[in-house]
Amino acid sequence: QQQVKQSPQSLIVQKGGIPIINCAYENTAFDYFPWYQQFPGKGPALLIAIRPDVSEKKEGRFTISFNKSAKQFSLHIMDSQPGDSATYFCAASMDSNYQLIWGAGTKLIIKP
């Protein structure tokens, strides 16, 4: 019940396309859902996060869509660029303990 399942494992998209990465969770007590971006050899960095009281959040070219009833959330990258090539991790946590439960990661490649 503590797991966060992320798919796909890898994704290749042409420049300008819209990659979509999906995550699903089971624990309805989760109330914070972040996405982290990690470049090779670097630490992950927070990209965007959402709470269950909204269904969508946009920050620049990055959008989180959240479906509370389906217990799913996804990351969309608009007008994708080769510089977006990285590994993306979704996660979930509860305000009661702040421990992040991580998805397995998606390796995204944006082809020029």
Partner 1 sequence: DSGVTQTPKHLITATGQRVTLRCSPRSGDLSVYWYQQSLDQGLQFLIQYYNGEERAKGNILERFSAQQFPDLHSELNLSSLELGDSALYFCASSGPTAGGPSVNEQFFGPGTRLTVL
Burial of 22 from C-beta contacts in 10 A (0-12 / 13-18 / 19+): middle
With CB under 8 A as the contact rule, the residue among 25, 80, 89, 110 that binds partner 1 is 89
Per rule CB under 8 A, count of chain residues that contact partner 1? 21
With CB under 8 A as the contact rule, the residue among 1, 69, 83, 97 that binds partner 1 is 97
From residue 14, give the alpha-carbon distance in Å to each of 65, 94, 97: 22, 36, 40
With CB under 8 A as the contact rule, the residue among 15, 82, 95, 111 that binds partner 1 is 95
Rank residues 20 and 94 by Cβ distance to partner 1 and give the closer one. Answer: 94
Number of neighbouring beta carbons within 10 Å of residue 71: 16
Residue 94 C-beta-side C-alpha neighbours within 13 Å: 10
Stretch that binds partner 1, among 14-22, 54-62, 74-82, 91-99 (CB under 8 A): 91-99
Of 15-34, binders to partner 1 (CB under 8 A) are 32, 34
